[in-house]
Structure 1
Amino acid sequence: METRFLGSKTKRFYFNNGAEDVSYVVIYGDELQVEPLEDNVAESYRTAIYRGRTGKIASNTTLLKKRSLEFYFLDIGQGDASFTVTPDNIKILVDGGLKDRALGFLIWKYRLDQPDTSVVIDHLFLSHADKDHIEGLAPLLSHPKITVKHIYHNGIGLFSEGHNTELGTVQDERLVTLHDTVEDLSGQKLKDSFKTWIDAVSTSDATYKRVDASDGYLPIGDASVQLEILGPTLEQDNTLKWFNGKSHTINGHSLIFRMDYGHVRTFFSGDLNIEGSEHLLSIPGNTLKVNAHIFKAPHHGSHEFSQDLLNHVNPMVTVVSSGETPDHGHPRAVFLGGLGLAGRGRMPLIFSTELSALFIDAGDVEAQVHSDSEVTTLDDLDFSNSTSNSEARQRFKKVLPGIINVRTDGERIYAFRRVQMGYQWESYELKYNDL
């Protein structure tokens, strides 16, 4: 069998599920194993394997030898989590959201319910340490089938005491308390959610490093993809500007970056707010650096956004990560309107993980996944055995419609969302220079 990747927007994959013949719609960039076509054999279909299922696909299907750049913007409720796979199969996780959905995604995608399966996350970026970005990362770090190699953060911790703010000591409108390594936090009184995260980092084998705009381009192990750190930006005395409050400061100094592949640029903006955006754009050259075709929108579509930033990004495809619980009113109507004004090309697209999601409550999960137990969250499962991973995988499948899939070959951009269970898709194909 040969590993190939779908080269058209969508295609049908046919298989038998044991009771009947059914089909899935595979989307651009999806990985398949296929039997080589023999010369001079005019077969209508060829044998293929898709996500562990053996079936068939039309022989005239366009298949590529090279992986695309894949983005998965996860439905994790109110919070942020996204997953990237580069053409050289480098895996990048950005934030982890609340609870356990990022972990559930990895269990589902890499079939961690099966024997002899595992996954390596090459790079984990924590945009900032707010609970809706960090809480889901600790269980992921401790999973026996997941290895995280490198962790990057913005240097801002959360403290329960010992400083004049929750973020550390502020002097002369500057945040002077920044950490690089775990050891820098030794002896400090940390807030519970941040302490849980740091404890998990300490017991993992991952490196842990603070980065800022002075780091510039960060080598990720795939020469075809350039990743440039755009923020936070340190002051000359290696401090961070205080943005008139805890939430404004930690959000405004999110770890943000742009990822370039061919002609296509993608901007991950963390929880950038008005102050952070103005600070970012005040630095010479940054109005061009934030320009991007694919845009992970800031702060779940909050009303605290900079229209100037949106205009300079000028996105073709925007993804807003938000959820119904807790209800913060995201994405705000004024933010969606601002994205409409700032959109690029003939058909700018705006996706929301909340609008795409299929919500089920814990009672439904218990009934459908493990009816004779008290399991209500992934945290209750023992991930050391395949049975629990199987339960987690089945639970995660219930929220698959919330994932926004965006893929590019460096010239064309493909965007997808599931419109219902059963592998049906809303799908789009754009070109980077469509005007």
Structure 2
Amino acid sequence: MRRYRRLAGQVIPFVLILVLLPVPSGSLELVVLDVGQGDGIYLHTPSGQNILVDGGSTSENQVGKYRILPFLKTRGIRYINYMIATHADEDHINGLAELMQMSGDSYRIGTLLLPDVADKAQEGYQLLIQTAQTKNITVAYLSSGANLTYGALSLLCLNPPSGSGFSSANDESIVLSLRYNDFSCLLTGDLAGEGEEEVRRILASASLRKAYNIPEHYTLLKIAHHGSKNSSDEELLSLIRPEYALISCGRHNRYGHPHKELLQRLKNCHAGIFRTDQSGALTVTVKRRVTIRGYLDKTPSKLARILFP
């Protein structure tokens, strides 16, 4: 069922709104998986939900079977509440298709979430939709304004607008603004071009920030498009003001990701930088403090300030 809310003179469609009753609070965990040249992010909410945001690679064969599934097994995960594909590029979705194909007695998947774009006939989307249908997995769509809420945690979609017809799949990437008490994180897929303009428009509007409950700055930013040269420009970074930046890219990848100009922009805004090509999988744990640990790092990094007194 489609709902609408009027914000700052606009009608914003809520394609999917899920509000769950608060449950006793635990810790929030976010893991940027080491999938080589690609993206794969695991979220475990304080109330126990399991969410995958992307899962694909162009450098690792059968990344779903040999990288993502072993991670899920080590965590004892038997149910994935939501599997979110930010856009249709292979390096974000081929592992998701594998995971759906392999699902069954050992683990199940509840809902596949896709961007609510005009062109749903793209090959990548059709692969995911058809695979989900054969496995009786619900398919739903996200657009700007959709909000998944679990107690104190919310995942707000900032892109794409409903029925978007942007010029590229990257531009139509789902962008998720995560808030959990004083902690915040922006997940950006391969955001670029018209999509980046849309997110800048929202973040630059004081009225929309207030209506959407968007933080003044973000604790973490997952850098778009693996740290490509033109991703996360200076204007966008000035609106996000991240304390830390997380970059998912393959070791010695042929694209030169992350690009030196992007790294310099992050240094200019005083953001700490964590990279999967250097540290392996990046695990962010939010309890009283925020801890960031790279799988290959000897000691975790902690934010200096205490978020939850």
Please state if 1:293 is matched with 2:171. no
Partner of 1:218 in structure 2? 148
Distance across 2 between alignment mates of 1:275 and 1:118? 37
The match for 1:430 is 304
Match of 2:109 among 116, 138, 148: 148
2:239 aligned residue: 312
Report Cα offsets for 1:372-410 as digits up to 9, x if no partner: xxxxxxxxxxxxxxxxxxxxxxxxxxxxxx10011112x
Shift of 1:88: 1.2
Whether the 8 Å CA contact 2:291–2:300 is kept in 1: the answer is no
Aligned residue among 235, 240, 243 for 2:164:
240
Secondary structure, counterpart of 2:277 in structure 1: helix
Please give the alpha-carbon distance, in whole angstroms, between the structure 1 residues aligned to 2:126 and 2:187.
25
- Residue 94 of structure 1 aligns to a residue in which SS? strand
Query: Which SS does the other structure have where 2:221 is aligned?
Result: strand
Letter in 2 for 1:351: F
Q: Does 2:295 match 1:336? A: no
| Cα distance between partner residues in 2 of 1:315 and 1:301 | 15
Closer/same/farther in 2, CA of residues 203 and 425 from structure 1, 3 Å limit: farther
What are the Cα deviations for residues 100-143 of structure 1, in whole angstroms up to 9, with x where unaligned?
Answer: 3354334244348xxxx651011111100011101111111122
Partner in structure 2 of residue 397 of structure 1? none
Matching residue of 1:273: 192
CA distance in 2, matches of 1:206, 1:265: 29
Pair 1:242–1:418, CA change in 2 (3 A)? closer
* Distance in 2 (alpha carbons) for counterparts of 1:127 and 1:432: 31
Q: Answer yes or no: is 1:120 the counterpart of 2:79.
A: yes
Give the 5 Å matches for 1:26-425. 67-98=26-57, 99-103=61-65, 104-111=67-74, 119-143=78-102, 144=104, 145-156=106-117, 177-179=118-120, 191=123, 193-215=124-146, 217-219=147-149, 222-234=150-162, 239-243=163-167, 249-283=168-202, 284-285=205-206, 289=214, 291-305=217-231, 306-324=233-251, 327-343=254-270, 348-356=271-279, 402-409=280-287, 412-419=289-296, 424-425=298-299
Secondary structure of the residue aligned to 1:425 is coil
- For residues 119 and 127 of structure 1, do their structure 2 counterparts lie closer, same or farther at Cα, with a shift above 3 Å needed? same
Deviates more, 1:262-271 or 1:139-148: 139-148
Distance 1:403 1:298 in 2: 17
What is the identity percentage for the equivalent residue pairs of Structure 1 and Structure 2?
Answer: 26
Question: Which amino acid counterpart does residue 425 of structure 1 have in structure 2?
Answer: T
Match of residue 374 from structure 1: none
CA-based RMSD of the aligned residues comes to 2.5
Unaligned ranges ≥5, structure 1: 1-64, 157-176, 180-184, 244-248, 357-401
Give the drift of 1:326.
5.1
TM-score, normalization by structure 2: 0.79
Residue aligned with 2:109, SS: strand
Cα distance change on mapping 1:336 and 1:226 into 2, 3 Å: same
Give, in angstroms, the shift of residue 276 of structure 1. Answer: 2.2
Quick one: structure 1 residues 272 and 432, their matched pair in 2 at CA, closer, same or farther if it must change by over 3 Å? farther
Letter in 1 for 2:275: S
Code of the aligned partner of 2:158: L
Structure 2 unaligned residues grouped into runs of 5+: 1-23
Cα pair 1:264 1:432 within 8 Å, conserved:
no
Aligned to 1:135, what secondary structure does the other structure show?
helix
Task: Provide the C-alpha distance between the structure 2 equivalents of 1:432 and 1:309, rounded to a whole number of angstroms.
Answer: 26
Q: Deviations over 1:138-192 (max 9, x none)?
A: 1111223221101111134xxxxxxxxxxxxxxxxxxxx344xxxxx5xxxx63x
SS at match of 2:170: helix
Find the structure with the greater CA-based Rg: 1
Whole-Å separation in 2 of the counterparts to 1:199 and 1:233? 24
**Contact in 2 for aligned 1:70/1:406 (Cα 8 Å):** yes
- 2:245 aligned counterpart, secondary structure: strand
Contact 2:289 2:306 in 1 (8 A): yes
Query: 2:189 touches 2:225 (CA, 8 Å); kept in 1?
Result: yes
